[in-house]
């Protein structure tokens, strides 16, 4: 318990409340324009204002109540943190994006999982931030009749593990359009890298 603050230790000894926060930094596309779409959830029962260490301001975190599940947080024998699987549910079905996200929207995007200790007034008195990247993300609508609820399930990969992977990106036109549909930045790359003669100007053909 040496990593905890004195206040956190005192709160735990007197029966503290524990909470989990999850932040997903996604990107969305509309009309060919890509923009950030960060989603934030926590394990409470109401919308909460919370400012993690290092953030410029507090953000609003959507409640998931007890409709959540998390895999054990473990480390491998070489002291590298393993991945994490998180399920969060109980959200309004209208907030879900089931069927609208593809891998370019979330694959290898940043994610933060935060474990917090709160006092009797639900004030966060200690928290630990763990940084991940998103590997797999799925949305689903659960329940029939009444008011359906949404469920998000994501597999997170620790940033250290991702950094040790070999980069298999080819930086080709097809690779670029998988992440950014309609982008022609690499369209002529194969020609430019070959021995083709390039003619500049408006007359005649561009490539010979």
pLDDT digits (tens, 9 = 90+) for 90-137: 777 776 777 777 888 888 889 998 989 888 888 898 898 988 888 888
Distance in angstroms (rounded) separating the CA atoms of residues 68 and 66? 6
Residues forming beta bridges with residue 120, ordered by sequence position: none
Distance in angstroms (rounded) separating the CA atoms of residues 106 and 136? 8
Tell me the CA distances in angstroms from 26 to 44, 113, 118, 150, 177, one per residue in order: 22, 15, 28, 18, 18
Average pLDDT score over residue span 19-48 = 83
Three-state SS for 143?
Answer: coil
pLDDT of residue 75: 44
DSSP secondary structure letters along 45-58? SS-EEE--TT-SS-
HSE-CB for 51 with a 13 A CA cutoff: 5
DSSP state of 198: B
Radius of gyration of the chain (CA): 22
Comparing 16-20, 59-63, 91-95, the range with the smallest average pLDDT is 91-95
Sequence ranges of the domains in the chain = 6-165, 169-208
Distance in angstroms (rounded) separating the CA atoms of residues 132 and 153? 15
Average pLDDT score over residue span 36-52 = 89
Sequence-ordered strand ranges (E) for the chain: 17-30, 33-42, 48-50, 59-63, 68-70, 84-92, 110-118, 124-142, 149-158
Cβ burial, residue 35 (10 Å; 0-12/13-18/19+): exposed
Tens-place pLDDT, residues 129-171 = 988 888 888 888 776 666 677 778 888 887 655 555 555 556 6
């Amino acid at each position: 318990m040496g990593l905890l603050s004195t206040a956190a230790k005192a709160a735990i000894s007197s029966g503290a409340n524990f909470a989990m926060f999850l932040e997903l930094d996604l990107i969305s596309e509309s009309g060919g324009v890509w923009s950030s779409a960060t989603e934030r959830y926590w394990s409470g029962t109401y919308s909460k204002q919370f400012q993690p260490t290092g953030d410029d301001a507090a953000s609003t975190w959507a409640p998931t109540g007890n409709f959540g599940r998390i895999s054990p947080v473990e480390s491998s024998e070489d002291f590298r943190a393993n991945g994490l699987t998180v399920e969060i549910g109980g959200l309004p079905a209208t907030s879900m994006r089931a069927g609208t996200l593809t891998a370019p929207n979330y694959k290898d995007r940043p994610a933060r999982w935060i474990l917090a200790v709160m006092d009797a007034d639900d004030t966060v008195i200690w928290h630990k931030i763990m940084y991940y990247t998103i590997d797999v993300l799925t949305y689903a609508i659960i329940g029939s009749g009444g008011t359906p609820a949404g469920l998000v399930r994501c597999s997170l990969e620790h940033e250290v593990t991702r950094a040790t992977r070999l980069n298999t990106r080819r930086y080709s036109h097809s690779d670029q359009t998988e992440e950014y549909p309609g982008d022609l930045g690499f369209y002529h790359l194969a020609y430019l890298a070959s021995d083709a003669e390039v003619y500049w100007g408006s007359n005649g053909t561009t490539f010979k």
